[in-house]
Chains A and B, each alone.
Chain A
Amino acid sequence: AQSVTQLGSHVSVSEGALVLLRCNYSSSVPPYLFWYVQYPNQGLQLLLKYTTGATLVKGINGFEAEFKKSETSFHLTKPSAHMSDAAEYFCAVSASNDYKLSFGAGTTVTVRA
C-alpha cells in the first residue's frame, strides 16, 4: 500500500521568493509520484510526474521536483513565486502495477505582493 504525507497545510511566500512544498511517501514497491495543482473552484491539473529515469523532474509553470529514494521524498520547488501560483497543491503516489492514486491532504499556497 502507498501513502503520502504533505508537511504544512499552508505556506505563505512573497512574490519572487522560493516556493518549497514538502512531500514524503511510503510505498512497498517502486513508486510513481505526482504533483497536482488546484485553482479555486476547479478540478486538479497535473504539474509533473516521476515514473522512472531522471530523478529531477520538470513540470509546467516553472515547477520542478526531485525524487529522493533514500529520503522517501518528492519535494516541489519553484525558484520565484508569482501571484498566479496561489492555489492548493497535492502530492500523490501510486505503484507501477496499480492504477489507484493515494493523495496527501494538500498544501495551500498564498503569495504576498
Chain B
Amino acid sequence: DAGITQSPRHKVTETGTPVTLRCHQTENHRYMYWYRQDPGHGLRLIHYSYGVKDTDKGEVSDGYSVSRSKTEDFLLTLESATSSQTSVYFCAISGLAGDEQFFGPGTRLTVL
C-alpha cells in the first residue's frame, strides 16, 4: 500500500469554525490532491498540488484553501465550515502525469 495517512480520520465541528485536514505521504510523489466524496457525485477535485508551494484549484474549490510547504504534507483548510461541507475527504498522490493515483483512507467530516 502507498504510504498515505490522513488526520484526523473523523471530525465533528460546528458551523463557522475553521478546520484543517492533513495528508501525509512517504512516497516522495510530486502530485497531491484533495477530493470530496458525496453520494451521487463520485469524487470531485477540490485542490491539487504539482510541487512544493505550487497549488491550483479544482472543480469545487469555493470555501477551501490548501498549502504545501513540504513534499510530504498537503493541508486542506475550511476557513469557516458550513453544513454543505459535510462530506468524506480523500487525499491522493501520483508520481507522473497520466499515472494512477493512490488514495488515503479518508476523513469523515460532519459540520453541525
Contacts and interface: CB of A to CB of B under 8 A. Distances in A.
25 contacts: A9-B40, A34-B100, A42-B106, A43-B90, A44-B43, A44-B90, A44-B92, A44-B103, A49-B100, A90-B42, A95-B98, A97-B98, A98-B98, A99-B48, A99-B50, A99-B94, A99-B96, A99-B99, A100-B48, A100-B58, A101-B101, A103-B42, A104-B42, A105-B40, A105-B42
Given A90-B42, A99-B31, A99-B50, A46 B97 contact: no
B43 A90 contact: yes
Given A34-B100, A98-B98, A99-B99, A43 B105 contact: yes
Interface residues on B, range: 20 to 34
Nearest to B91: A43
A42 B97 contact: no
Given A99-B31, A103-B43, A42 B98 contact: no
Interface residues of A, number: 25
B52 interface: no
Q: List the 9 closest pairs (A to B, CB-CB), nearest first.
A: A43-B103, A103-B42, A44-B103, A99-B97, A103-B43, A105-B42, A96-B98, A32-B98, A43-B105
Given A98-B98, A101-B101, 16 more contacts: A36-B103, A43-B90, A43-B104, A43-B105, A44-B90, A45-B103, A46-B102, A49-B100, A51-B98, A95-B98, A97-B97, A99-B94, A99-B98, A99-B99, A100-B45, A100-B48
